[in-house]
């Protein structure tokens, strides 16, 4: 299995070559091990400094940042499309790295002076860098010039080479396939309390007769409150707000009296309507928020309004006001627990403290054998940031994982689980186990896909013997063990994506060799 996983990762990496500027690129996953990075891979370079966050791009031959604020750092839950100006092909030679921009073919240049803006060059010379883990920054890297030892930094809104070390950088491997955004409860966090409306959700009715409104607080497993922000594959920064109800095929669309204060939103059931832009919102009580704008109506913003209990979604023409009207929406993760016998299970991790929903218990993995994962229950109702866990409840469904500023008791015991956090991560080089089930039996199964979803947790493989294990049962505190009886492997998904040997996804394979479920097959 290890060999198959590595083969699949390498094939997916083979996306080299210059592409047309009109091609959209999406984050496949962040690099967590440099062995995941192969020559010819396409990547985004994201600055993760506390003050400046953004994706590198090229503007008239000079390296710039696509933004100089925290927008892209706070909103990794949005699967934004990137053009070739943001994308670099990695060229690796003897543990040294070159970065060639897809749009221009130019390389990042490493021999500029202290504090000078980084430049680019069309010549394949003086353009090599080293990459090393950034101290104290999980999955973030320091990129350093070979020519002068300076680190890559962002200063005053543009990248520079600076002799005091570099900024932490996320390296995202990218693909031309749009990735699925997780599901969320979308709740309003207004600047001030107003008629009890803070915390009200976007919500729809099952029969869609009542349109879309914001009259209720979050309710566990109320799928009418669960949404996804999906970008238009043909137009960057144009989003549909898609409802989970009706298989995610409907979205907020129709507007009564468009462009007027008090205009109300309703459903569009026939197709997804890509009409919104997403903007960074104010910080409310320590929470990051965002605004939803409809520019075709003259920069109107979606908000929660109404009187008494007659709440609805409407428009207002001013963001970030001192009232509730600006919206200031918060995306609350809707993590899914799936039924497995007498209880429901799922995994979770996030880069901030969260409040555990009522009826949900969290566990860490304290030890593991070739056949069993041993779990230990955590105390308290606040889960610390960056703590990957297994979640357990009596009933299956979606559970809101609300960000909180409440303090959490520190976890002092070793935890074998690894979290993906707010961004999708590439599969570990040496393989992994993920929580799953076969024939109603829960366990940790071999994982073969190229990347892992956001806000999840997995169990890495650490030994050669471990690579041979197909599945591990789960040992709960008190002696309860999930019953797995000689299951060889989880059933293969016949509808899993198919890739050619260049790592490109294929919808209708013709004659040739392809990869599905981590295995090669031949179409004759």
SS3 29: strand
| pLDDT for residue 306 | 62
Question: What does the pLDDT average to over 334-347?
Answer: 93
> How confident is the model over 355-378, as a mean pLDDT?
93
Of 195, 282, 278, 287, nearest to 231 (Cα)?
Answer: 278
Residues near 386 by beta carbon (within 8 Å), at least 6 away in sequence: 138, 349, 350, 351, 419, 421
Q: In the numeric block, which tokens belong to residue 46?
A: 């994201």
Q: CA 201, CA 410: separation in Å to the nearest integer?
A: 31
C-alpha–C-alpha distance, residues 347 and 185, integer Å: 18
DSSP code for 422: T
Check residue 468 and report its DSSP letter.
H
This model's pTM is above 0.75: yes
Pairing mode, strands 432-438 and 382-383: unpaired
352-390-72-133 Cα dihedral, nearest 10 degrees: 90
CA max distance for the chain: 68
- The mean pLDDT value of the chain amounts to 81
Length of the chain, in residues: 524
Which stretch, 157-171, 194-208, 451-465, has highest mean pLDDT?
157-171
The pLDDT value given to residue 353: 93
Which CATH fold topology does 2-175 show?
A: Trefoil (Acidic Fibroblast Growth Factor, subunit A) (2.80.10)
Tokens of 43: 């990547």
The total of other beta-carbon atoms located within 10 Å of residue 163's CB is 13
Please tell me which residue, 463 or 523, carries the higher pLDDT value: 523
Beta strand 389-393 with 361-368 is antiparallel
Q: Alpha carbon of 372 to those of 368, 392, 422, 433, 483: distances in Å?
A: 6, 17, 28, 12, 11
Q: Which of 221, 222, 239, 227 is CA-nearest to residue 183?
A: 227
Burial class, 345, CB count within 10 angstroms (exposed 0-12 / middle 13-18 / buried 19+): buried
Structure confidence at residue 85 as a pLDDT band (50, 70, 90): very high
Round to whole Å and give the CA distance between 345 and 446. 17
Please say if the pLDDT value at position 76 is more than 70: yes
Q: ∠ CA(131), CA(133), CA(135), 5° rounding?
A: 135
pLDDT at 20: 40
pLDDT category at 361 given cuts 50, 70, 90 is very high
DSSP class of 117 = B
Q: What is the CATH number of domain 184-327?
A: 2.80.10.50
Return the pLDDT at 488.
39
In 3D space, the residue among 313, 212, 231 whose CA is nearest the CA of residue 272 turns out to be 231
Return the pLDDT at 341.
84
DSSP three-state, residue 295? helix
Burial class (CB in 10 A: 0-12, 13-18, 19+), 494: exposed
Cite the beta strand spans of 299-396 per DSSP E.
Answer: 300-307, 310-316, 329-340, 343-348, 354-355, 361-368, 372-377, 382-383, 389-393
Given this chain, do its domains 2-175 and 184-327 carry the same CATH topology? Answer: yes
Dist. CA 48–CA 196, nearest whole Å: 36
CB 211 within 8 A of CB 312: yes
9 in helix, strand or coil?
helix
Q: Which residue has the tokens 């440099």?
A: 34
Domain boundaries, the chain: 2-175, 184-327, 335-475, 495-524
d(CA 370, CA 68): 48
In this predicted structure, the answer to whether residue 502 has a pLDDT above a threshold of 90 is: no
Tens of pLDDT, residues 226-272 = 999 999 988 888 999 998 987 777 888 877 777 766 677 888 877 88
Rg of the chain over Cα atoms, rounded to whole angstroms, equals 24
Look at residue 489 in the predicted model and tell me its pLDDT.
39
pLDDT at residue number 381: 94
């Amino acid at each position: 299995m290890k060999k198959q996983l590595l083969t699949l990762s390498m094939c997916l990496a083979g996306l080299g070559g210059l592409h047309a500027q009109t091609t959209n690129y999406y984050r496949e996953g962040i690099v967590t091990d440099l062995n995941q990075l192969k020559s010819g891979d396409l990547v985004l370079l994201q600055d993760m400094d506390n003050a400046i966050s953004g994706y590198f791009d090229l503007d008239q031959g000079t390296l710039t940042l696509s933004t100089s604020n925290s927008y892209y750092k706070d909103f990794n839950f949005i699967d934004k499309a990137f053009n070739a100006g943001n994308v670099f092909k990695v060229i690796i030679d003897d543990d040294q790295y070159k970065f060639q921009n897809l749009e221009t073919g130019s390389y990042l240049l490493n021999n500029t002076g202290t504090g000078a803006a980084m430049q680019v060059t069309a010549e394949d010379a003086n353009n090599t860098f080293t990459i090393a883990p950034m101290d104290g920054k999980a999955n973030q890297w320091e990129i350093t010039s070979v020519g002068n030892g300076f680190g890559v930094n962002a200063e005053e809104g543009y990248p520079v080479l600076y002799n005091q070390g570099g900024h932490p950088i996320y390296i995202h491997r990218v693909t031309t396939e749009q990735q699925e955004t997780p599901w969320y409860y979308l709740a309003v966090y207004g600047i001030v309390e107003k008629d009890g409306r803070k915390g009200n959700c976007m919500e729809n009715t099952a029969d869609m007769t009542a349109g879309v409104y914001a009259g209720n607080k979050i309710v566990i497993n109320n799928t009418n409150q669960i949404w996804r922000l999906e970008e238009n594959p043909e137009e960057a920064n144009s989003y549909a707000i898609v409802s989970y109800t009706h298989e995610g095929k409907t979205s907020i669309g129709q507007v009564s009296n468009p462009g007027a204060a008090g205009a109300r939103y309703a459903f569009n059931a026939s197709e997804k309507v890509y009409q919104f832009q997403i903007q960074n919102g104010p910080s409310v009580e320590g929470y990051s928020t965002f605004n939803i704008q409809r520019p075709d109506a003259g920069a109107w913003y979606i908000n929660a309004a109404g009187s008494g209990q007659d709440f609805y979604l409407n428009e207002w023409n001013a963001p970030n006001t001192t009232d509730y009207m600006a919206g200031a929406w918060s995306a609350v993760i809707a993590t899914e627990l799936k039924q497995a016998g007498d209880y429901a299970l799922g995994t979770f991790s996030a880069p901030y403290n969260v409040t555990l929903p009522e009826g949900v218990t969290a566990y860490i993995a304290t030890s593991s054998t070739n056949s069993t994962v041993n779990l230990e229950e955590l105390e308290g109702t606040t889960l610390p940031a960056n703590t990957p866990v297994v979640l357990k409840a009596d009933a299956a469904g979606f559970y809101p994982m609300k960000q909180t500023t409440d303090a959490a008791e520190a976890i002092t015991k070793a935890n074998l689980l690894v979290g993906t956090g707010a961004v999708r991560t590439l599969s570990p080089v040496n393989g992994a186990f993920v929580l799953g089930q076969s024939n109603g039996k829960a366990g940790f199964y071999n994982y073969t896909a190229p990347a892992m979803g956001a806000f999840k947790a997995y169990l890495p493989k650490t030994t050669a013997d471990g690579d041979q294990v197909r599945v591990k049962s789960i040992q709960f505190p008190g002696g309860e063990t999930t019953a797995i009886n000689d299951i060889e492997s989880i059933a293969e998904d016949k509808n899993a994506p198919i890739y050619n040997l260049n790592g490109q996804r294929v919808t209708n394979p013709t004659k040739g060799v392809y990869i599905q479920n981590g295995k090669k097959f031949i179409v004759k």
